[in-house]
Amino acid sequence: MRSLPAALVAALFAFPVCAAAAGTTAEREEGASAGLPAVEVRSHRNLHDPRPGPLSSATRTATDVRDVPQTIQAVDAAQVKAYGGRGLAAALAGVPGISNVSDTRFDAFRLRGFSNAGDTLLDGMRDDAQYVRSLGNIDHIEILKGPAAVLYGRGSGGGVINRISKQPTREAYGQASATWGSRGQQGAALDWNRPLAEQWALRINAGREHEPHFREEVRGTRQYVAPALKWESGRDSWLLQADYDEFERIPDRGLPARVTALSRNGTASGYALPQASDRTFFGAAGRDFIRDTSLSLRSTLTRAIAPDWSLRQMVSVFDLNSDFDNTFVSQPFVSAGRDLRRVQRSRFQQNLQQRNVQANLEVLGNLATGAMRHQLLAGAEYGWQKREPRLWMGSARPVSLTEPDQHDNEGSRPEPWQMNYHKVKTAGFYAQDQIDLGGRIKGLVGLRWDHFEVDSRNQLQKLRSERSTTALSPRIGAVWEALPDHHVYASWSKNYAPVGGDVIGITPGAKGNVNDLGPQFSRQLEAGVKSDWFQRRISTTLAWFELELYNRLVRDPVQPEQFTQTGLERNRGIEFSVAGELARDWFVRGGWTQQNSRVVQAEAQLAGKRPSGVSARNGSLFISYAPPLGWFGETGVVYEGARFADRENLLELPGYARWDALLGYRLARAEYTLAATNLANRRYHASATGVSQIVPGAPRALVLTAAYKF
């Protein structure tokens, strides 16, 4: 693995004006100093209270969650790391309405039943590349449920996942930590923050992690460094950030299902759960690998232009280079001879390069019109993205369904299969008004105009296709304080998903009309109540939602290369969350979703089915004891309901409940934590990307962490 570049810090300082978060600490301080409406902060908040402060993902301004007419949640990255979690899959486990459908190559989730492949953000900027994200430099993760195109542009409509990074403060602070796990996991991390002068502060996060897996042959090593520099003078500020990350691992796509029936045409028509041991590896031992190298440079420059107004400029540059050689199960039986005791495998090699450039210019301010107060945001955005996947494909010899030979590397030599070049350009203009109508009513209105262009080239066949889309994305909502500490809200919002805007690119020279279609749209109606209880020690949110994807592509049964946009998917559900202080030093956090996600109008074989990977219910509940010093602990349950592994709903993965717990001791400068995941050692299936790739959940694991503050 390549070493971390010594020139990274210099590159950060040389980078002129790059992007940072909508809603980071810098923004929160800027918002207050710019004369924007004050955010009421719950008084006497305990340091260990799991409730978040003002969040930004819903409005691009620091806003109290009670004043947002939409469901928004936050996950503390430190809590995830205490249990040994290092990625988004661990962080989002048990979050109501989120299902994990990630595979070994990249993060993938379903929010309220819909894919979020292009709806992941880093500090409010688009982070849609195919890779496994780190939590090394992350403070917390914000999850906004439902359409968010009014602020962030194109997306599937299920919501956005926004990682918020750590940023410099004026406090001299440092922490070094080390981690050891029962499966040989080892890691070390450093978080160092220092004020350099009256107006400057520097923060550096760095770490290295090595994690052997419970599955045979699987392991991974990650190293990262993330410096950040902040200048602040009165209401003006400039924040520069960089994240460099290397992650090398053995790819693991899980286990194949067992085929129980074949149709007359030789396709599988029935499946059962995998027979192989959860530890069984179906790849090519000693040859398979994935290596991701990513670099993100971001900056926010804020300038006061009037007592109540400010300008904010954000620019982000992201680079990803991903290489892999991966042998995996491509079909859970062998077609020749209809052999159900062996599985067919394929081999792919890939070099993927992606670059994202995004620039935003925003004006923020407040004004009054009679009794009404307005917190205004208006902005312009330009984006440029390049994605260049180069793939080679070969065959691999079939292996046993239950006892594969992991060292059988025989097969055809990979030949060029796909050499594509995709380029995307976007332009957007957006405006938002957060209105205080006086009394107990607040409103939120917003509108965004987007223009999206995609240009794709097949360099093997010398083909090229282009497509452009223009769309409007509105949002309207209101919050009414019906009773003290009880806020009733309702909202309606709309999203658009253009052809080629998810995993960016279209198929050059594709037959039929797939490249000529308009965007798919999603719309959500949500209503609920956000409440505080027991002198505001406990906070709850109860929400009802209906989310629809319409203009969905439907394949013509007579001409399969032709599509119509007559399809519809719908998800209706109820969601509840709770967080706060039960009693002195006792805390609760958790939530639950009950939802009915269905494909309403589609091809005959899909109509009426549930989307793959989406459970009807999921959630979590954790109780913790956290005094300032001494012994502390936590225990809780993560629950995921039954899900289908495939679109045709032929194989259902059973639901599961996972019991986690931790115990620790805290001193003034040191902290020791022993955490256990899956304490009952239950067997379960964590996710699936199809019937050939079902990922088993990890058995019981222990993680010991020692941290020292200086």
Q: What is the pLDDT of residue 373?
A: 96
By three-state DSSP, how is residue 78 classified?
helix
Could you give the CA distance from residue 609 to residue 606 in angstroms, rounded to a whole number? 5
Each domain of the chain, given as residue ranges in start order, spans 8-709
Q: What is the largest CA-CA distance in the chain?
A: 80
Residue ranges, the chain, pLDDT below 50 = 1-43
Angle at CA 468, nearest 5°, toward 464 and 471? Answer: 160
pLDDT given for residue 632 in this prediction = 99
Q: How many CA atoms lie within 13 A of 646 on its CB side?
A: 19
Angle formed at CA 615 by CA 96 and CA 567, multiple of 5 degrees: 105
DSSP code per residue over 195-227: EEETTEEEEEEEEEEEEE-SSTT-EEEEEEEEE
Q: Is 193 within 8 Å of 226 (Cβ atoms)?
A: no
How do strand 159-165 and strand 120-122 relate by DSSP bridges? parallel
Are the C-beta atoms of residues 520 and 501 closer than 8 Å to each other?
no
pLDDT at 45: 65
What is the CATH code of the structural domain delimited by 8-709? 2.40.170.20
pLDDT at residue 118 in the model: 85
Q: DSSP states of 492-557 as a string?
A: EEEEEE-TTTTTT---TT-STTGGG---EEEEEEEEEEEEEETTTTEEEEEEEEEEEEEEEEEE-S
DSSP 370: T
pLDDT in tens, 246-284: 999 999 999 999 999 999 999 999 999 999 999 999 999
